Homo-oligomer: A and B are copies of this chain.
Amino acid sequence: MSQQPKTAIQPTRAQDYPEWYLQVIKAADMAENSPVRGCMVIKPWGYALWENIQRTLDGMFKETGHVNAYFPLFIPLSYLQKEAQHVDGFAKECAVVTHSRLEAGPDGKLVPASPLEEPLIVRPTSETIIGESFARWVQSYRDLPLLINQWANVVRWEMRTRLFLRTAEFLWQEGHTVHADEADARAETMRMLDVYADFAEQHLAMPVIKGRKTDSERFPGAVDTYCIEAMMQDRKALQSGTSHYLGQNFARSSNIRFQDEAGQMQFAHTTSWGVSTRLIGGMIMTHADDDGLIVPPRLAPQHVVILPIYRDAADRANVLAYCESLKTELHAQRLGDERLRVTIDDRDLRGGEKTWSWVKKGVPLRIDVGPRDIAAGSVFVARRDTGEKESVDRSEFVGTVIARLQAIQDNLLARAKAFRTEHTRVIDSKDELYAWFTPQSGDKPEIHGGFALCHWNGSAAVEAQLKEELKVTIRCIPLEGEWGYDATPGQCVMTGEPSVGRVVLAKAY
């Protein structure tokens, strides 16, 4: 590996964090920009991560009583018109379909033809089109609760895009549920927030703070928006999932009504909740290092890669046979519900190049198997998260591989929690707050500060000032008992006015 640079990824996080992020994605072969502005191509390694995220979350949704359905990609303009009247801050950047045909013009060039009577919008989110169905599906209290989820692609015409974090088209799931009363709808809202938080911590190994958004950060049309917020390695916050209690607002605009047990017609209470391919960006920025991606074992496209080492054809047959039988023994075991995913890399590449390709892809465990290992009945194991390497008795390794993978999973979560603790500060003075969010000499401009736990007087004016002067927002008001929760009264860090508890301040993606 002497030919390798000191770190596999150039630049390093410390040298240029935003560029490091893009280079990690490139080195792991996860995704690339496409010729279509703002749309990405998700390559097999990146898509396998999404498939694992999707399969796990889908199981959690079904365990909590939800079923999947599919609604149209297109939304009639008139639906958004209605929406725009109900909702301030309605997003207008979207893909508009105006024609339904291509025709060859005089010069033989194809041009749009057959204009539509009413333009169609490619869904930026499906509330309005799903609401139209729900209004027909829901008639009686017997039809409630209605618990629907959709896996889909959505499009928002973002000006500045970054792979996984913000793209014009992205993949997501959107849950939409209908309930007879507020209590039931609020319980659903919190249930799904918990599902997201459990998934983030147990599978992505990404610690999150569950909290409520302030009025100014709330989803347009929602009564309450709840979120999970994670800290990235540049100490910025990433909003990783949201769950909204919509009250009766969407029920009124979509006319979702039901006959209650007393025979009265009532507007329903609805919720919506979603996570997207953005989670993959969060996973990268939580765990990857200057040698590339590190994948939490629970979501790894491959748990173990076996690298056969041999000099000649005689060796080769021997070594590959040993590798195959080892692969079979490993594949027979399960991490959680899933069989171990094990691959043998017999590509015709130099050893160093081959090893580094798996380091950069972040596979949790790498195993070298050569004639000497076979003779000794051992395997040479490298652990991606710590870089530890050791020669282990083969049968001992097979017997401990699940524990080893779980140890990696646990270490990634513990490491991320320690990082968050290290870069979170309880701040009670405005000077200290401004210093915390201003690069000090020696700081890289992109890497400084972190989370600040501060008292706030509850006014939007203070939020506006923080945004204006520091580019800082209130990420959430932590839920009772959450990490960062503190409801002891105090004085607003900006105004000195009374505060009922601390909020989480940070710069954010």
Contact = CB atoms under 8 A, between A and B. Distances in A.
A36 B120 contact: yes
A68 B81 contact: no
B100 A93 contact: yes
Contacts of A68: 44, 47-48, 51
Interface string A341-352: 000000110000
Nearest to A277: B70
A95 B97 contact: yes
Contact of A44 (B75, B148, B155, B157): B148
A27 B347 CA distance: 54
A97 B96 contact: yes
B148 A121 contact: no
A481 interface: no
Contact of A69 (B36, B43, B95, B121): B43
Chain copies in the assembled complex: 2
A119 interface: yes
A424 B44 CA distance: 44
Contacts of A120: 36, 95
Contact of A74 (B39, B50, B80): B39
B81 A110 contact: yes
Q: Is the interface of A mostly helix, strand, loop or mixed?
A: strand
Contacts of A77: 102, 110
- Which of A42, A70, A75 has the largest count of B CB atoms less than 10 A from its CB? A70
Contacts of A94: 100-102
A92 B101 CA distance: 6
Interface residues of A, number: 61
A93 B69 CA distance: 27
Contacts of A99: 95-96, 98, 119
Contacts of A129: 34-36
A171 interface: yes
A164 to B, nearest CB: 12
A218 to B, nearest CB: 22
Interface in A47-83: 47-48, 50-51, 67-77, 80-81
Nearest to A40: B72
A103 interface: yes
Contacts of A148: 44
Interface of A: 32, 34-36, 39-44, 47-48, 50-51, 67-77, 80-81, 84, 92-104, 109-110, 112, 119-122, 129, 132-133, 142, 148, 152-153, 155, 157, 169, 171, 347-348
